[in-house]
Amino acid sequence: MTAKKDVVVFDYGFGNVRSAERALARVGAEVEITRDFDRAMEADGLLVPGVGAFASCMAGLREARGDWIVGRRLAGGRPVMGICVGMQILFSRGVEHGIEAEGLDEWPGTVGPIKAEVVPHMGWNTVEPPADTALFAGLDAGARFYFVHSYAVRAWEFETHNAALAPPKVTWSTHGERFVAAVENGPLWATQFHPEKSGDAGAQLLTNWIETL
């Protein structure tokens, strides 16, 4: 019998950790909610949720040494997944209400306000994944996911100059304008939407992540 994958939901004060815990347990993971440094480093997978303002989330993450944990895990090829603001803080910077804050800079890019008639973007929406994506494997083209956000990355700026390195796979969605809905980049996966609130489609996506751990 295959052992369950060990996942830590990182609890730095800015995420709906209970919903994430339930969704991961539903797809067969052994889940722990903690900010313990050693557990976060040792787990098969680390999930970083995020709810609230970019600057506040970054401050909370740094206070819990989460920035160091994410960097060290990725340097060693250890899987990390970010959700909602947990995805946004992986970019270089965020600008909200005129306040600019530095992100983790795993990818270049700026998180800024969505330009749409109705904000926040709240509810179900489809996405446009690239070909050969492991993140959306087994999902129909019309699969819908649950979004709640007023800010997003609207331009993908990362360029891969080394032909031996596979470029990140970027998924898009549209609400008023196109924005980055998910990224698959080696051990680092992230979604702007909430897979833990996206029913069967979200469960399939989390299963896809668990199977890579």
Quick check: is 175 catalytic? Answer: no
Closest by CA position to 145, among listed 118, 126, 130: 126
Any catalytic annotation for residue 84? yes
Question: Could you say which of 21, 96, 184, 196 is catalytic?
Answer: 196
Residue 138 zone, left/alpha/beta (φ > 0; ψ -120 to 50; rest): left
**Residue 159 CB contacts under 8 Å (≥ 6 apart), including other chains:** none
Residue of 21, 57, 84, 175 marked active site: 84
DSSP H/E element including 145 = strand 144-149
To the query of whether residue 194 is one of the catalytic residues in this protein, the response is yes
Q: What is the DSSP string of 147-198?
A: EEESEEE-S-------TTSPPPEEEEEEESEEEEEEEEETTEEEESSBGGGS
Q: Which of 121, 149, 175, 194 is catalytic?
A: 194
> What's the rounded Cα separation, in Å, for the pair 206 and 20?
10
Q: How far apart are CA 87 and CA 25, in angstroms?
A: 21
For the annotated catalytic residues, the residue numbers are 84, 194, 196
